[in-house]
Every structure is written in C-alpha cells, then in structure tokens.
Amino acid sequence: MDPLHFRLATEADIDAVVQLVTRAYRGDASRQGWTTEADLLDGERIDPGVLRADIARPRSRIVLGLRGDALLACAHVADDGGQGYFGMFAVEPTRQGGGIGRAVVAECERIARDDWRLPRMCMTVIEQRTELIAWYERLGYRRTGEHRPFPYGDARFGSPRRDDLRFEVLEKPLWT
C-alpha cells in the first residue's frame, strides 16, 4: 500500500475537496464513517467560494492527504490572529478509523507550529458531536468552555435539522 503523503490544494482541487467533505458529513454516504452530521444538518458542508478564498489567503492552507492519486482526506489550517485554526477536516468515510485522520491533524499542527511558529491550535466543533470532541481530546485538545453560535440562516453551513446547535471551542498548545 502506498504511504499517505500530503500536498497543498489548488483551485483545480476545489470540486474534489467539496465532494470529499460532503461525503464525509452529509447524506447516506457519510453514514459509512463515524463523522457524519447527517442527523444534525442537511445541505452543503463547504461552499466552493469560501474554499477558493481559503486557498488564496496568505497563511492559509488546504492540506490534502493522498495515497497515490487518491484523495483520502483534507483539512484547512490557517493563522487566525496569532493562533492556529483547524477546520474543514474530512476523511473518506470508508477509510475512517485507520489513522489517516491522526496523520492529517499532525501535519496541520506541524505547519502551524514549525512553519508559522504559532503557540496553539484552535478549532470549533458542534457541541452535540460528543464522540468527535472525545477523539480530539485523545489527541491532546481541551475544551475551553467557550461557545460560539451556529450560523443559522447561512446556507453555506448547511440546513440545521434542530434548533439547539452551537460550536464549542477546543484548543491545544503546540509548544511544550
């Protein structure tokens, strides 16, 4: 089996990234993995215009995890006001649970720590995703106690199936 390798996304990758993120989080295909949000949200998970802007923005990278030419994972890492931001993380649903996700998180942490010299990585996770929060905690992230509202009414983030969604902020120091 080919080893997992990383490269940065370009505009030519936008359609493939949108498809991967959608498969990992929305609809029946997402139920093959454990990261599905299909019971919480319908609709889009990532807007191509937002993705295009993230690719073009300074100190912002879309990291792709590949085996050979097969796109298996992606994530967004950025400098957000002097701290790392991690988001848009997706692993092909049929390949989840095999260490690909851990490798992608580690690569994004490496970029924030080594390339940009940022002291911590932060992310937001829908608080109802307790199994996902627990996974991040096993990777060294901690709950900060900070919450942010879900952007109800903004179709770029999907169509909520319930009215109690909000984000929880997690963080991890990158220097020990």
Dump pLDDT digits (tens) for 98-110: 999 999 999 999 9
Reduce the secondary structure of 92-109 to three states and give it as a string: CHHHCCCCHHHHHHHHHH
Q: DSSP state, 80?
A: -
Name the class of domain 4-173.
alpha beta
Q: Which of 64, 60, 61, 79 is nearest to 18 (CA)?
A: 64
Q: What does the pLDDT read at residue 39?
A: 81
Interval 39-73: pLDDT, tens: 888 777 888 999 999 999 999 999 999 999 999 99
Q: How many CB atoms lie within 10 A of CB 109?
A: 20
Q: At 142, is the pLDDT very low, low, confident or very high (cuts 50, 70, 90)?
A: very high
pLDDT band of 137, cuts 50, 70, 90: very high
Q: Using CB atoms within 10 A of its CB, is residue 170 exposed (0-12), middle (13-18) or buried (19+)? A: buried
Q: What is the mean pLDDT of residues 90-104?
A: 94
Confidence category of residue 27, pLDDT binned at 50, 70, 90: low
Q: Indicate the SS3 state at residue 165.
A: coil
Handedness of CA 95, 44, 110, 149 (dihedral sign): negative
The domain limits of the chain are 4-173
- Whether the pLDDT of residue 141 is over 70: the answer is yes
CA distances in angstroms from 63 to 27, 51, 120, listed in the order given = 24, 12, 18
